[in-house]
A and B are shown apart, each in its own frame.
Chain A
């Protein structure tokens, strides 16, 4: 869809605003708004806290799903308000975060005050707050480059006061914001649909894997009761094996001060964070010298071994690729290659079949993890070797299709978001003329 343009333009003199309709003016923020800062009551005085005055912090603003601000994570009391330098602002004020991070914003739907990380803009000129909320929402980068600071950036009141904005006639502000309300709602709904699609695809991916590794590919094969309640029926000719009977050796990577072995150069030295589902991220991995790796021969990596994350995202598994041969691993579980197809076992490890067993035995409040002594007992429904190969081929083909689709959907979301901000930008800077496209009574 292409939009009409205004009949006449002029140079705004401001880099990021570019050309604007010739009847618009440019104004510094302080010409349109009174800028009000915030503050925090003493945290150790209970009298100041948990009252009914809404008290906004940058975190409250970054959690907003629309412009309207109705409440804050913490509220303060009238005593709290009186105790510090924060100021109440009326409904309809724009609230902008000015530090860590700069540029989140909303419009007050109740009387409220803020902490020192926000500034409130109270209109002193005739404006439509939603128009300026849209305007500031695309100015985040501009506001950030005006920020100063060593550990975090902060936008000063002076810098905000001098920030240049467009100032169209009030009626046009209303038309533009009504148009944007309608159009951004459509885009947001589309993004939500795409996100739902991605969730469904992930669910399907998991279901396809779990089905293949527990039921096989042939729907007509005779089945038997596995004897394991949660596993149900498996093909009759499959065996239920413990992990320790499948693999010749299961061990844990270097546990004692692995960081002592980290070298500038050498072979890949895998930590849990380098292992993704079905994939080892070799490029970012640490390194270990050949000598040190050999010295820790028990956990020296061979192509076709399987590594499984123990701490953090327990159960996530990948097959060791050729480029990791000779390297080593820290703290992850290492399942040695045996008389099985490693890709098949890796699928089984990443399927609900094994993940369920990981969840049963994992522990740890801060970081979930499991012990090798439990893992060696995990049950795996095991088909004959030729069937492992065919399951692997089938899954690799299906999964790559699903993964492509997930990537494409993510790309679509990025494009929708890009369109959203490009549309806002075009409308609020007058690059497009939407006066005929929204119903607003003058």
Chain B
């Protein structure tokens, strides 16, 4: 049986749940039971050995755990004499026995079932009178490793997660990034490193700070396995939703990854990988979500640690925390001396332009651009995500820009690269085909300017092109007779006093000379004006769409008139032909 039919077969357990469970709840039963059955099968060959080892070590009175791990030949074990087959033998005590079986797993596994809130599901099934039948169905699935490999089981589980996420798509965006977007992200961050990765024995660390159900982590694993079978990827993640966390961790466990790399909790207030650096990172943080809940911790880190913490450059407005994740990722980049790092983060439009010069957002952009960290931004089509139809952008950030990209930023407008989905899922109505992904990856990889249908789709700019100075233009206060009021004391003594009502600001591109700009744009209109240089601020913004706009002048009037004449003549002739 291939993995697709196996996952469909497993999902068919849903038939039993219909009526008692809502569609969006099927996954809460099916996912943990699948994990349970898989682990049950994986541990079966060594079960006897583990029980013998346990008895021996207990007799000697020493901590049995390391010995049990060795005996089970896995990263986890179970010390119960029960297994799922045996559970079936005692229909009257299935509930109690199931609880006792779960409780005898080693800690990491128990943690997964707790986060799944598996106890509650078991109680609910027992109440509905379904527990025995559901358990029995799962016991019939043969998920032994000699029948279903780790890799296959991973694919089966992913398929189940996808079904679950799609059925509960009203909230899917919270823990589920569409596969096409992940594929693109993965292609973009790995493209330049194919050589490195194809060397045997290379181990790379990949991290997702908002890992959800682990889609980014598992798809990047698959990609690497396809392209560079010899490379090894160790994955790290953190997730704050217990159910998503449980799914993610279970997925890792099933694929034989080290589950201690997946940490539970809020990444912003409680960094689960403090002090660690990564080679690659991927992230699709929540957009437009306020960060009030973690405000105290984040502000404290900003003020007390400054650039030694994660949030040195600045803090965004309280209503949108997505740029905090950008800063978080930057702080986790492996230093250049140790090989450097590249990451991709999906953001909405706000981080491109929100905030005037000197604001937290602008300061963060300034930090990114002045430190030459931004390689490219890819504008995606609208209607790409399950929970929102807004425009989104992938930022590719790196501290190891190759020589030819230094000081430059590439903007790629992929907003017209999409195909319509036959069946939309929530707000997701469009998808990237493999060809679209290949085309975007090629544009990025070749680092070229390009056009499609007479419109630019890839452009290259200097970092400084996005910068500007906001200058404050003052004009003198005048008394009733129109005479300039002079300062009486301190620094302003004898100098014209500024009239705050006439105060104005001008944004001058970094590429232009401030004094020349002032002479050209301001003095002709306000000959008495001056610049208060103490108030000058540097800002950065990335007006993405403006850079892809092409001005088409109107057609010449006589050309339109000629067309009009042809058309009206034709109408006249046609009307005459109609009355026949």
Is B554 an interface residue when CB atoms closer than 8 A count as contact? Answer: yes
**CB-contact partner of B574 in A3, A16, A404, A426, under 8 A:** A404
Residues of B326-359 whose CB lies within 8 A of A: 348-350, 353-354
In the complex, chain B residues whose CB is within 8 Å of the CB of A87: none
> Across the interface, do A412 and B554 meet the contact criterion of CB distance under 8 Å?
no
Q: Mark B141-176, 1 if CB is under 8 A from A, else 0.
A: 000000000000000000000000000000000000
Q: Give the distance to chain A from B394, nearest Cβ to Cβ, in Å.
A: 15
> Across the interface, do B557 and A150 meet the contact criterion of CB distance under 8 Å?
no
> Across the interface, do A408 and B571 meet the contact criterion of CB distance under 8 Å?
yes
> Across the interface, do A422 and B554 meet the contact criterion of CB distance under 8 Å?
yes
Q: Mark B404-416, 1 if CB is under 8 A from A, else 0.
A: 0000000000000
> Across the interface, do B423 and A423 meet the contact criterion of CB distance under 8 Å?
no
> Across the interface, do B554 and A401 meet the contact criterion of CB distance under 8 Å?
no
Residues of A133-152 whose CB lies within 8 A of B: 141, 145-146, 148-151
Is B578 an interface residue when CB atoms closer than 8 A count as contact? Answer: yes
Taken together as a complex, chains A and B put the C-alpha atoms of A235 and B288 apart, in Å, by 69
Given the known A-B contacts A145-B549, A158-B507, are A2 and B521 also in contact in the complex, defined by CB atoms under 8 Å? no
Taken together as a complex, chains A and B put the C-alpha atoms of A287 and B567 apart, in Å, by 40
In the complex, chain B residues whose CB is within 8 Å of the CB of A276: none
Q: Give the distance to chain B from A370, nearest Cβ to Cβ, in Å.
A: 28
> Across the interface, do A16 and B551 meet the contact criterion of CB distance under 8 Å?
yes
Is A365 an interface residue when CB atoms closer than 8 A count as contact? Answer: no
Say which one of B123-131, B300-308, B558-566 lies at the interface with A.
B558-566
Taken together as a complex, chains A and B put the C-alpha atoms of A27 and B522 apart, in Å, by 11
- The total of chain B residues at the interface (CB under 8 A) is 41
> Across the interface, do A145 and B564 meet the contact criterion of CB distance under 8 Å?
no
> Across the interface, do A412 and B348 meet the contact criterion of CB distance under 8 Å?
no
> Across the interface, do B564 and A148 meet the contact criterion of CB distance under 8 Å?
no
Q: Mark A399-435, 1 if CB is under 8 A from B, else 0.
A: 0011011001101100110110111011000001000
Taken together as a complex, chains A and B put the C-alpha atoms of A287 and B353 apart, in Å, by 41
Is B391 an interface residue when CB atoms closer than 8 A count as contact? Answer: yes
Residues of A379-412 whose CB lies within 8 A of B: 401-402, 404-405, 408-409, 411-412
> Across the interface, do B422 and A262 meet the contact criterion of CB distance under 8 Å?
yes
Is B546 an interface residue when CB atoms closer than 8 A count as contact? Answer: yes
> Across the interface, do A412 and B349 meet the contact criterion of CB distance under 8 Å?
no
> Across the interface, do A264 and B568 meet the contact criterion of CB distance under 8 Å?
no
Given the known A-B contacts A15-B551, A150-B350, A426-B554, are A401 and B577 also in contact in the complex, defined by CB atoms under 8 Å? yes
Closest to A15 in B: B551
Taken together as a complex, chains A and B put the C-alpha atoms of A149 and B558 apart, in Å, by 39
> Across the interface, do B546 and A145 meet the contact criterion of CB distance under 8 Å?
yes
Q: Mark B175-198, 1 if CB is under 8 A from A, else 0.
A: 000000000000000000000000
A-B interface contact total, Cβ < 8 Å: 93
> Across the interface, do B564 and A162 meet the contact criterion of CB distance under 8 Å?
no
Residues of A109-167 whose CB lies within 8 A of B: 141, 145-146, 148-151, 158, 162
Closest to B563 in A: A415
> Across the interface, do B554 and A425 meet the contact criterion of CB distance under 8 Å?
yes
Is A28 an interface residue when CB atoms closer than 8 A count as contact? Answer: yes
Is B483 an interface residue when CB atoms closer than 8 A count as contact? Answer: no
**CB-contact partner of B348 in A2, A30, A150, A259, under 8 A:** A150
> Across the interface, do A286 and B567 meet the contact criterion of CB distance under 8 Å?
no
> Across the interface, do B567 and A408 meet the contact criterion of CB distance under 8 Å?
yes
Closest to B571 in A: A408
Closest to B353 in A: A148
A3, A28, A148, A421, most chain B CB atoms within 10 A: A148
> Across the interface, do A418 and B521 meet the contact criterion of CB distance under 8 Å?
no
Is B570 an interface residue when CB atoms closer than 8 A count as contact? Answer: yes
Is B575 an interface residue when CB atoms closer than 8 A count as contact? Answer: yes
Taken together as a complex, chains A and B put the C-alpha atoms of A307 and B551 apart, in Å, by 45
Residues of B410-444 whose CB lies within 8 A of A: 421-423
> Across the interface, do A405 and B557 meet the contact criterion of CB distance under 8 Å?
no
> Across the interface, do A422 and B546 meet the contact criterion of CB distance under 8 Å?
no
Taken together as a complex, chains A and B put the C-alpha atoms of A262 and B424 apart, in Å, by 10
Taken together as a complex, chains A and B put the C-alpha atoms of A74 and B567 apart, in Å, by 43
Is A31 an interface residue when CB atoms closer than 8 A count as contact? Answer: yes
Given the known A-B contacts A145-B549, A151-B390, are A264 and B557 also in contact in the complex, defined by CB atoms under 8 Å? no
Is A263 an interface residue when CB atoms closer than 8 A count as contact? Answer: yes
Q: Give the distance to chain B from A355, nearest Cβ to Cβ, in Å.
A: 23
Is A322 an interface residue when CB atoms closer than 8 A count as contact? Answer: no
> Across the interface, do A405 and B349 meet the contact criterion of CB distance under 8 Å?
no
Q: Lowest 9 CB-CB distances: which A-B pairs, in order? A: A422-B554, A262-B423, A412-B567, A150-B349, A419-B560, A145-B549, A264-B422, A405-B574, A148-B353
21 contacts between A and B (CB under 8 A): A1-B557, A1-B558, A2-B558, A145-B545, A145-B546, A158-B505, A197-B571, A263-B422, A263-B423, A264-B422, A286-B423, A287-B422, A405-B571, A408-B570, A408-B574, A411-B567, A418-B554, A422-B554, A423-B557, A425-B554, A426-B557
